[in-house]
Amino acid sequence: MADITRRGALGLAAGTAAGSLVLPRFAIGQADSRPSITIAVQKVSNSNTLDVLREQSNVGERIFFSSLWEGLIGRNWQGSLETVPLLATEWRRIDDRTVELKLRQGVRFHNGDEMTAEDVVFSFGRQRMFGDTRPSAGETIRVDERNPLNRVTKELPPEVPAVARRAWPALLGVEAVDKYTVRFVNGTPDVTIEGRISRYGSEIMSRRGWDEAPSYLDWARRPITTGPYRVADFRPDSMLVLEAHDEYWGGRPPLKQIRFVEVPEVASRINGLYAGEYQFACDIPPDQIAGIERNPAFEVQGGTILNHRLTVFDKNHPQLANPLIRRAFSHAIDRQAIVDSLWAGRTRIPKGLQWDYYGEMFVEDWKIPDYDPKLARDLVRQAGYKGDPIPYRLLNNYYTNQTATAQLLAEMWKEAGLNVEIEMKENWQQVLERTPGRAVRDWSNSAPFNDPVSSIVSQHGPNGQQQQVGEWTNEEMNRLSVELETSTDRARRKHAFRRMLEICEREDPAYTVLHQNATFTAKPRNLQWRAAPAFAMDFRSPNWGGMRS
C-alpha cells in the first residue's frame, strides 16, 4: 500500500468530517515502512525530565530541538543558526517593550489539539514558569471542574522558576490579540525580546496537556508539544523513545521512531556503531576520529558550537576570596596545549565569553588572559597563599575530554603553586551544592541568541546561575547587567559589555574560559544526514535522506 500523501490525507479528513467515511487510524501504521534509528548518547537527561526549563543542558539541546519541542522563532540548523519563522510566521516591533507575532495556523499538538494563542499565553504564564496561581496579563487560571475551589496548579522544582527568571527577567506577560496573534509585553525596554523568544526555554506547550497531567513530574516526563516526534517511552538514566507525530505541520516525519540510549563509555558507543546496534554515536573524542574513519564505511561529522568550556570560581571559599588567586588560576592555563593535545586542533581559543555571531556587539580587540606561568606564581605569592587544598569539582567525562582536561589543569595550577585537588561528583547537584568544600568547578556557557545578554548576563548576572547558587557577585557587574538588558543605545550597550568582561575575566574573576566547545558524531558514511553546528540533531525531512546503496 502506497503512503498517503499529505494533501490526500487532508482531503480524506475533510470527507470524514462532512459524511460517514471513517479512515482507520491504523491504516497508516500498517503501511509504515519508515526506518527507526538508535542513537548512543553519553547521557539522556540530567534532570530526569523532558522540561526545557529544567533540562537546560547540552544533552537536553540534543534531544529537544528539531525533534520534540518548538518555539515561535526558530534557528536554521543547517545554515548559520540565523533565526527563522517556526510556530510564528512573522513578527514586528510595536515599541521598545512590545513584540507582536502571528501564529502559524493548523499546527497540531501531539494530543491532536490545534495550537492557539491560549497555549502561547500559558507557556509564558506564571503558572507554568513560577507555579503562581495569579494570572499573568491575558492569562486565565483554570479550575478543576470536579472541585471549583481547586485551581489546576502544579508544584514546580526550584530550577524551573530560576531558569524562567534568567530567561525573562522583566516579562510582564503575553497577551492574546486574537486566536492567532500574541503580544509579548516587557516591563522595561529590551532590544533582545526577539532573541529571548527564540532561545532555549521559550518553546510552546499544550495548555490542555499540562492541565490533564496529574503532577508536574507526570507532565515533565511526557510533555505535549508540537515537534515532529512525540514521547513514546522515557526511562530516566536509560533511554528515550520518540515516535513520529504524523500530524506535524511541517509534513510527515521521515523516521518512524528515534531511540536515544544512554551509553556512558566511548568505546561501547563506537563498538555498537560498528556492530550496527546504533546508527549514531555521539560525543566522540577527537583522538578517536581518525580510527573510526580508517574504516571506509563510517565517518565523523561535527565541529565547534556556540558553547565555551569554563572553569568557574566560588569566591566565598577562603582560598579564593582574594581575586589575585583567581587571576593566578587564569594565567596558569596553557589553553593551546589543551586544544592541541586533547582536541587535535579541532577547536579554538575564543576571545573571552563571546562569539563572532554577536555581530556589532562582538568586542574584537578583547582576549583571554595570557598564559603566563611566571605572573601566575607572582600573583600566588602576592596573595600570601600558604598551599591549603583547593577542591575542583567535576563529573566523569560528561563533557568530551572532561577528566583529561581536569588532570592537565591540575598540573598547570600545581606549577603555579596552587594545590588543587580533583573531586569527582556523580551529578550536577553535587557539583553545585553549597558546602564548605565548594571552590572551583567545571562548566560550560552557551549563547542561545546573538547578544551577550544570552550568556554573560544569563549565567553570571544578578539572575544568573552563578549568583543564584551563591558563588559570586559583583555590584558593578550587576548594575551593568541591568543596563545591558534595558538600554536601547547600542554604543552604550557595547561599552557596558566590555566593562563586564573586564570585571568577570580579569579584575574579580567569576570564571575563566578554557576553549570553545566542539561536538562530533559518528555514523555510517552512506546514511544521508548532516550534523548541525550545535548539539541539536535535526531529523526533519529536509535533513534526512535515508541510506545510499
CATH of the domain at 44: 3.40.190.10
Which residue type, as a one-letter code, is found at position 384? G
Residue 18 lies in a domain: no
User: Please, which pLDDT band fits residue 24 given cuts at 50, 70 and 90?
Assistant: very low
| pLDDT over 90 at 27, yes or no | no
Question: What CATH number does residue 410 fall under?
Answer: 3.10.105.10
Residue 425 lies in a domain: yes
Residue 132 lies in a domain: yes
Contact at 8 Å (CB) between 445 and 306? no
Contact at 8 Å (CB) between 309 and 444? yes
Contact at 8 Å (CB) between 521 and 527? no
| pLDDT over 50 at 13, yes or no | no
User: Please, which pLDDT band fits residue 148 given cuts at 50, 70 and 90?
Assistant: very low
Domain with 111 in it: 76-209
Q: Quick one: 270 and 339 in the same domain?
A: no
pLDDT of residue 305: 95
Residue 164 lies in a domain: yes
Q: Quick one: 402 and 475 in the same domain?
A: yes
Contact at 8 Å (CB) between 113 and 208? yes
Q: Which strands form 257-262's sheet, in the order they lie side by side?
A: 229-235, 239-244, 257-262, 36-41, 280-281, 511-524, 298-313, 440-446, 390-395, 420-425
User: Please, which pLDDT band fits residue 147 given cuts at 50, 70 and 90?
Assistant: very low
Which residue, among 222, 220, 221, 226, has the nearest Cα to 206 in the 3D structure?
226
Q: Which three cell numbers stand for residue 502?
A: 573586564
Please, what is the average pLDDT of the chain? Answer: 91
Residue 10 lies in a domain: no
The rounded distance, in Å, linking the Cα atoms of 218 and 48 is 11
CA distances to 273, 274, 508 from 278, in Å = 5, 8, 46
Helix, strand, coil percentages in the chain from 3-state DSSP, rounded to 5: 35, 25, 45
Which residue, among 157, 181, 151, 194, has the nearest Cα to 53 in the 3D structure?
157
Chain segment 319-360, per-residue pLDDT in tens: 999 999 999 999 999 999 999 999 999 999 999 999 999 999
Q: Quick one: 184 and 285 in the same domain?
A: no
Could you tell me where the beta strands, DSSP code E, fall in 212-255? 229-235, 239-244
Q: Quick one: 290 and 354 in the same domain?
A: no
pLDDT of residue 549: 61
Residue 246 lies in a domain: yes
pLDDT of residue 136: 52
Residue 276 region by backbone torsions, left for phi larger than 0, else alpha for psi between -120 and 50, else beta: left
Q: How many domains does the chain have?
A: 3
Q: Which of 126-140, 219-233, 296-310 has the lowest mean pLDDT?
A: 126-140
The rounded distance, in Å, linking the Cα atoms of 297 and 21 is 49
Which residue type, as a one-letter code, is found at position 133? T
User: Please, which pLDDT band fits residue 545 given cuts at 50, 70 and 90?
Assistant: confident
The rounded distance, in Å, linking the Cα atoms of 325 and 384 is 9
Per DSSP, the residues of 338-401 read HHHHHHTT-S---SSS--GGGGGG--TT--PPP--HHHHHHHHHHHT-----EEEEEESSSSTT
pLDDT of residue 7: 33
pLDDT of residue 29: 44
The rounded distance, in Å, linking the Cα atoms of 53 and 314 is 24
Question: Cell 560525543 maps to which residue?
Answer: 283
The rounded distance, in Å, linking the Cα atoms of 387 and 420 is 9
CA distances to 250, 532, 539 from 4, in Å = 15, 30, 21
Q: Quick one: 320 and 345 in the same domain?
A: yes
Q: Quick one: 205 and 236 in the same domain?
A: no
pLDDT of residue 23: 34
The rounded distance, in Å, linking the Cα atoms of 271 and 437 is 39
Q: Which three cell numbers stand for residue 458?
A: 544569563
| pLDDT over 50 at 433, yes or no | yes
Q: Would you call 529 helix, strand, or coil by DSSP?
A: strand
Which residue, among 70, 26, 61, 63, has the nearest Cα to 246 in the 3D structure?
26
Question: What CATH number does residue 109 fall under?
Answer: 3.90.76.10
pLDDT of residue 30: 56
pLDDT of residue 134: 60
Q: Quick one: 308 and 324 in the same domain?
A: yes
Give the percent of the chain with pLDDT over 90: 86
Q: Quick one: 326 and 466 in the same domain?
A: yes
Residue 111 lies in a domain: yes
pLDDT of residue 395: 95
Q: Quick one: 341 and 291 in the same domain?
A: no
Residue 13 lies in a domain: no
Q: Quick one: 52 and 157 in the same domain?
A: no
CA distances to 129, 142, 207, 208 from 211, in Å = 14, 8, 6, 5
Q: What angle do CA 177, 178, 181 make, to 5 degrees?
A: 70
Q: Which three cell numbers stand for residue 180?
A: 492567532
Q: Quick one: 293 and 334 in the same domain?
A: no
Q: Quick one: 429 and 497 in the same domain?
A: yes
